[in-house]
């Protein structure tokens, strides 16, 4: 368990109850984030035979997709600090018979990778959680061959990601959110500021750093009820609910669900509830 070192607090967080949904609900999460993964894969253009490092790979969806693209002559190494997600990823890789894919339970910021061993560094929302991001990215750059490609997705600002922050705001009087992290602290929106991302990647020695804003329509559910249920499973609202006192939680869930229904009904259409995720497609070269 990567419970020591610079990211120990994050290891505790990602192995705790409030983030378990990333492993247990990966099918629901993947269905919603599929269009984001498609954009990452299109930009990454992984080729047969390439060696890919997938940071914060979670339950392995991106690792599997990349392994299919590099084929049996290639290699994909996924790495994550969440034990339950890594277990799920390993099971899925075995079931898919992808011998070219492997997942490590380790801190990507400190794991001793073979130097210069990868052609592509990829991550879907797995790089915003380093406590010392410049040092972490410098460490990752040393694992890449010179000129290797970097393709990452990260969320833009909270205000632009109403699919999650709007839901949290709709219930904030019922389940107050924790104070937001500071601008230099890890978190879901830690890469929202493009200047900060450039500073981190250039500071770590990467070249050709570019951030492309993309607004990706996300289908949050077939209807408002499904979207509300998802918000209560993953994200700010679910975490705030978990923090509620035991005796009050069930009653609170009902009131929160009603409020979320109202919030998501406003985005309901014939194809279900669709709201944009505002992301950066970050690219660079080692």
Rounded distance between C-alpha atoms, residue 268 and residue 252, angstroms = 24
* Sole residue written with tokens 């699919």: 163
Q: What is the closest distance, in whole angstroms, from the C-beta atom of residue 265 to ligand SAM in the complex?
A: 27
Q: How is residue 103 written in tokens?
A: 């997942």
Does 7 bind ligand SAM (CB under 6 A)? Our answer is yes
Buried b (16+ CB within 10 A) or exposed e, 177-205: eeeeeeeeebbbbbbbebeebbebbeebe
Contact in structure between 32 and 55 (CB atoms under 8 Å): no
- Sign of the alpha-carbon torsion through 282, 28, 87, 73: negative
DSSP string spanning 100-131? TEEEEES-TTT--PPTT-EEEEEEES-SS--S
Least CB distance from residue 245 to ligand SAM, whole Å? Answer: 27
Select 6 or 174, whichever has its Cβ closest to ligand SAM.
6
Q: Which residue has the tokens 């339970």?
A: 105
Q: Does 103 bind ligand SAM (CB under 6 A)?
A: no
Site for ligand SAM contains 113 (CB under 6 A): no
Q: Minimal CA–CA distance to 281: which of 175, 125, 163, 171?
A: 125
Q: Which of 84, 101, 118, 130 binds ligand SAM (CB under 6 A)?
A: 130
Q: Which of 124, 139, 156, 239 binds ligand SAM (CB under 6 A)?
A: 124
In the complex, least distance from residue 261 CB atom to ligand SAM, rounded to whole angstroms: 25
Supply the minimum distance, in Å, between the C-beta of residue 125 and ligand SAM: 4
Host H or E run for residue 278: strand 272-285
**Interface with ligand SAM includes 107 (CB under 6 A)?**
yes
Q: Which of 70, 108, 154, 240 binds ligand SAM (CB under 6 A)?
A: 108
Annotate each residue in 78-97 with x if it binds ligand SAM (CB under 6 A) or - if it does not, as one string: -xxxx--x------------
Q: How far is the CB of 120 from ligand SAM (least distance, A)?
A: 15
Rounded to a whole number of angstroms, the minimum distance from the CB of residue 217 to ligand SAM is 17
From residue 282, alpha-carbon distances to 151, 250, 275, 279 in Å are: 6, 41, 21, 9
Q: Which is nearer to ligand SAM, 236 or 268 (CB)?
A: 236
Asked if residues 267 and 133 have their Cβ atoms less than 8 Å apart, the reply is no
> How many binding residues for ligand SAM (CB under 6 A)?
25
Binding string, residues 25-64; x marks residues near ligand SAM by CB under 6 A: ----x---x----------------------xxxx-xx--
124: β partners: 153
- Contacting residues toward ligand SAM, per CB under 6 A: 7, 10, 14, 22, 29, 33, 56-59, 61-62, 79-82, 85, 107-109, 124-126, 129-130
């Amino acid at each position: 368990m990567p419970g020591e070192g610079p990211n120990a607090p994050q290891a505790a967080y990602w192995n705790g109850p409030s983030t378990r949904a990333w492993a247990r609900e990966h099918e629901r999460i993947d269905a919603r984030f599929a269009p984001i993964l498609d954009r990452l894969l299109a930009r990454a253009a992984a080729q047969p035979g390439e060696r890919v490092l997938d940071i914060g790979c979670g339950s392995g969806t991106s690792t599997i997709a990349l392994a299919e693209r590099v084929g049996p002559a290639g290699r994909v190494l996924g790495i994550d600090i969440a034990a339950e997600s890594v277990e799920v990823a390993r099971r899925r890789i075995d079931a898919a018979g992808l011998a070219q894919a492997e997942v490590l339970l380790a801190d990507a910021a400190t794991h001793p990778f073979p130097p210069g061993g990868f052609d592509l560094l990829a991550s879907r929302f797995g790089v915003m959680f380093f406590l010392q991001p410049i040092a972490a990215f410098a460490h990752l750059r040393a694992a890449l061959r010179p000129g290797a490609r970097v393709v990452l997705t990260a969320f833009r600002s909270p205000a632009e990601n109403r699919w999650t922050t709007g839901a949290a705001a709709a219930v904030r009087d019922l389940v107050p959110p924790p104070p937001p992290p500071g601008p230099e602290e890890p978190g879901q929106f830690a890469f929202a500021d493009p200047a900060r991302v450039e500073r981190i990647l250039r500071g770590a020695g990467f070249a050709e750093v570019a951030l492309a804003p993309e607004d990706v329509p996300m289908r949050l559910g077939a209807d408002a009820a499904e979207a509300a249920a998802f918000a209560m499973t993953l994200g700010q609202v679910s975490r705030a609910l978990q923090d509620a006192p035991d005796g009050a939680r069930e009653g609170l869930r009902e009131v929160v669900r009603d409020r979320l229904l109202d919030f998501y009904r406003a985005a309901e259409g014939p194809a279900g509830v669709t709201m944009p995720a505002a992301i950066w497609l970050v690219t660079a070269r080692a």
